[in-house]
């Protein structure tokens, strides 16, 4: 099964989760500036909220790589709004890309809020989520 990890970050919070997930899955965490080079069964895609939306680079990655994408699995951080999956779904619904119901999300530090998050436990949880998800897909 071909697996990839892509993420977008401004202050490094989502990168922490991306690197934990990538390490657990023995792949490299790369930003959404790196296109997919081959058909990818599972893409773990990291994003965050900025002014109530995900960054346009994340959306354009999904559109530009749509023909190489099997299923997208969301992970991410935010200060208040919770999961970005709903914003990602708006794009995958237009491209017809499968999007996993399951996702990993945790608070991300922002000014005085959520200092130190994601922390080591968040990263461990993200890695465990990703490994469990892959195991489940491989058993299908």
Ligand X SMILES: Cc1cc2nc3c(=O)[nH]c(=O)nc-3n(C[C@H](O)[C@H](O)[C@H](O)COP(=O)(O)O)c2cc1C
Contacts with ligand X, residue ranges (CB under 6 A): 9-14, 48-52, 77-81, 108-110
Residues in the chain, overall count: 140
What residue is closest to ligand X based on CB?
Answer: 108
Beta carbon of residue 11, minimum distance to ligand X (angstroms, whole number): 3
Residue number, 40 or 78, with CB nearest to ligand X: 78
State how far the Cα of 97 lies from the Cα of 67, in Å rounded to an integer.
9
CA distance readout (Å), 49 to 32, 60, 80:
15, 16, 9
Q: Which is nearer to ligand X, 36 or 54 (CB)?
A: 54
10 or 115, CB closer to ligand X? Answer: 10
Which residues partner with 113 through β-bridges? 110
Query: How near is the Cβ of 39 to ligand X at its closest, in Å?
Result: 27
CA distance 17 to 61: 19
Shorter beta-carbon distance to ligand X: residue 18 or 99 = 18
Q: Which of residues 51 and 135 has its CB atom nearest to ligand X in the complex?
A: 51
Question: Rounded distance, CA 79 to CA 18, Å?
Answer: 17
State in angstroms the smallest separation of the CB of 50 from ligand X: 4
Quick check: bond before 118 cis, omega within 30?
yes
Residue 84 Cβ, how far from ligand X at the closest point, in Å?
A: 8
Find the shortest distance in angstroms from Cβ 125 to ligand X.
15
Which single residue is written with the structure tokens 């080079």? 37
Please state, in angstroms and rounded to a whole number, the distance separating the CA atoms of residues 70 and 45.
Answer: 12
């Amino acid at each position: 099964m071909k697996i990839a990890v892509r993420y977008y970050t401004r202050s490094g919070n989502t990168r922490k989760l991306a690197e934990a997930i990538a390490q657990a899955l023995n792949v490299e965490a790369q930003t959404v500036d790196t296109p997919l080079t081959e058909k990818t069964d599972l893409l773990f895609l990291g994003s965050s909220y900025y002014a109530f939306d995900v960054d346009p680079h994340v959306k354009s990655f999904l559109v530009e790589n749509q023909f190489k994408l099997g299923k997208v699995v969301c992970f991410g951080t935010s200060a208040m709004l919770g999961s970005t999956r709903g914003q990602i779904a708006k794009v995958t619904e237009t491209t017809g890309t499968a999007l996993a119901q399951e996702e990993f999300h945790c608070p991300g530090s922002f000014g005085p809020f959520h200092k130190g998050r994601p922390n080591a436990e968040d990263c461990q949880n993200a890695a465990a989520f990703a490994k469990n998800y892959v195991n489940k897909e491989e058993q299908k």
